[in-house]
Amino acid sequence: MKIEKITNTILLFIMLTFCATSIFAQVVEANLNLMPYPEEVKISDGQFKLNKEFTIQLNTEDEKVYKAAQRTIDIIARRTGLFFKERSPIPAENAGKGSVFIDTKGTVQLEFKIDESYSLDISQKSVVIEAENCFGAMHALSTLVQLIDSDEDGYYFPCLTINDKPRFPWRGLLIDVSRHFEPVDVIKRNLDAMAAVKLNVMHWHLTDDQGFRIESKVYPKLHELGSDGLYYTQTEIKDIVKYAEERGIRVMPEFDLPGHATSWFIGYPHLASAPGPYTIERLWGIFDPTFDPANEDVYIFLKAFFEEMSELFPDEYWHIGGDENNGHQWDANPEIQAFMKENDLKDNHALQNYFNERLDKILSKLDKTMVGWYTDEMPDLSKDYIVQAWKGRKTLYETAKNGYRSLLSHGFYIDLVQSTEYHYLNDPIPPDSILTDEVKERIIGGEATMWAEFVGPETIDSRIWPRTAAIAERLWSPGKINDVKNMYERLDKMTIQLEDFGLTHIKNIDMMLRRIVGDYDVATLKNFVNAIEPLYTYSRDRPHIFLSHYPLSRIVDIAQPDPRLPREFSNLVDSYLKNGSHEKAGKIKELLELWHGNHKKLAGLIKVKPILKEIETLSADLSKCAAVGMKALEYYVQEKKADETWVKESNEILDAAKKPRGETELSIIEPIRKLVAAVQ
């Protein structure tokens, strides 16, 4: 029996390996710049040519399909410059040749776990989209616009057949607007981008210590005193929720409590566990102000507030936060301690469980299901409760095993400016998972989290995109589609396409550099910015102590997470050292010479622009590192070994250059170190 089990295991491993290799081979062979990549793609010969006769025809009167088709026509027109005779979708019976035909089977409400599947069949004569409902059709249209291509004969769609559906039903993006407020236009353009990569939940973090960002007519002091005047009116909330729904995106609000609650207490201090007065928090971190679970007025207040807010947010799911309550106010309050003793609540975990149970009863009567951040002791709540795992994959599995539906956010914290590769390989259920099918079923997806300590309207897009497109693929596409090199190739194309939706992740770089330089010519400063990356966010509070109103206009705010040029330079060095060529050596030398000479040009600007002073020595170190790389490349080309003294001195230069400055760090050190190692 033992031998049979081992044999079966080996066979299973071989089958899985073959399957993964086969899927990857199909992705590479197809050479389609799609993201997320569909579940099944079959390429055919030929092209569907785009010309002025192009139309989109509908067999439905569903307004959401009509609007999605209109947006698609507009994107295709902008990309191709073609003057279409029909600039709007038309009924199916009026269609002629060269048409996209959309066939949906019915109308459904937007809710969790709706059918999002679709098929897309492109032949030389027509494009046919079939879906169970409007939301699947929207996904098909998102795929279609990614397929636009061109050659010397014009624009076209390649002939193919796609059958596609999501791997996980919950694919979200959290946007924190409390720590830094984001205007309506920022939210809308990010909703458009979310739809483009098939994300379907916007988790809206509306309250925290630093701000209360939503109008309340029942308790107006919440937004009047807790927001610095920066909040969404109820009309704006309804507009955004409708805008999201038209793009197949559910909006889940988060009202964070019992902790992270300072902004609630500025207008209503009697709800807190310690007497006021309270003021808006200007720092980042975990603070003491906490709701008083022993105060019945708290539940009366929250019941009325939740009833008001439920009219604005029709989605079933409601996030209560629930994390990072330090319990200091509870420990110091004699009445709360007496309440705990009277109700046999042994510690603060039990007290928070009590608080959550009371909230659960309020929300249940409003037909809302609670979602909350993972805490060390899970509340004794209904198994409908959804747990968001942010402390690690282990907690994701623990909560799923305990019967709760679970979301993964650990590893998707995009505010931490980690690499796209790191996020992309962060699979909620990796291929080697030994979880039972029952437990896997409870892992319903994940969310990228854009916490806003260090982003504002000018910079938030560059922190969300393009990395979140790779996260969207991880949550939509089969887990076996996970080749990093291929992902980056497709992501580079997607990065540009995302600008169709008004995102500023590329164009704001030059705008912010022009502000610093005070001139149109930003090339020298941009050469430096392209070689660095922002420091891991949790390290940014040193040496500065940040306040929420500090400007976000420094080099660290312009520098890009996972910058493209250093990644390409690293790949170029690896490829050259593996099988060198004169062409690759020339490209490496060209970049090194650019970086080596850049500081001399930049020094004069730094002298007269104090905002750049903090990166002066880092710029000088970029030049020094490039000089080391140039010398190492010279040795390698000449097939010479460097002497030990030079190697030692070079590594010391590279080590010194690793020190962050201006909360940024050089991104080109390691590939240069590889060149040095190659000539030792």
Catalytic residues: 324
* Calpha distance 592→589 (Å, rounded): 5
8 A C-beta contact, residue 180 and residue 455: yes
Question: For residues 403 and 622, what is the distance between their CA atoms, to the nearest angstrom?
Answer: 53
The owner of tokens 């050259």 is 576
Residues 336, 294: contact at Cβ < 8 Å?
yes
Asked if residue 412 lies in contact with residue 471, where contact means CB atoms within 8 angstroms, the answer is: yes
Distance CA 584, CA 564 (A): 17
In 366-506, which ranges are continuous DSSP H helix?
393-401, 420-424, 437-442, 460-464, 467-476, 484-497
Instruction: Identify whether the C-beta of residue 128 lies closer than 8 Å to the C-beta of residue 137.
Output: no
State the pairing for strand pair 201-208/154-164. unpaired
For residue 477, report the phi and psi dihedrals to the nearest 5 degrees: -80, 160
Contact 189, 503 (CB under 8 A): yes
Could you tell me where the DSSP H helices lie in 518-615? 523-529, 555-558, 564-578, 582-608
| Dihedral over Cα of 479, 427, 486, 76: its sign | positive
Helical ranges in 378-483 per DSSP H: 393-401, 420-424, 437-442, 460-464, 467-476
Residue (of 287, 244, 292) closest to 270 by Cα position: 292
Query: Quick one: which of 404, 407, 536 has its CA closest to 463?
Result: 536
Tokens of 564: 């493209």
Place of tokens 């807010």: 309
**What CA dihedral angle connects 338, 343, 347 and 349, to 10 degrees?**
-130
- The β-bridge partners of 33 are none
| C-beta separation of 423 from 429 below 8 A | no
CA separation for the pair 505, 525 (Å, rounded): 18
**Rg of the chain on CA atoms, in Å:** 27
How far is it, in rounded angstroms, from Cα 171 to Cα 447? 6
Q: What 3-state class would DSSP assign to 201?
A: strand
Separation of CA 407 from chain center: 15
Tell me which residue of 581, 663, 586, 675 sits closest to 625, measured CA to CA. Answer: 675
Q: Residue type at 349?
A: H
Report which secondary-structure segment, H or E, holds 156.
Answer: strand 154-164
DSSP-derived letter for residue 373 is: E
Give the bridge partners for 43, in sequence order. Answer: 160
Q: Which amino acid is at 364?
A: S
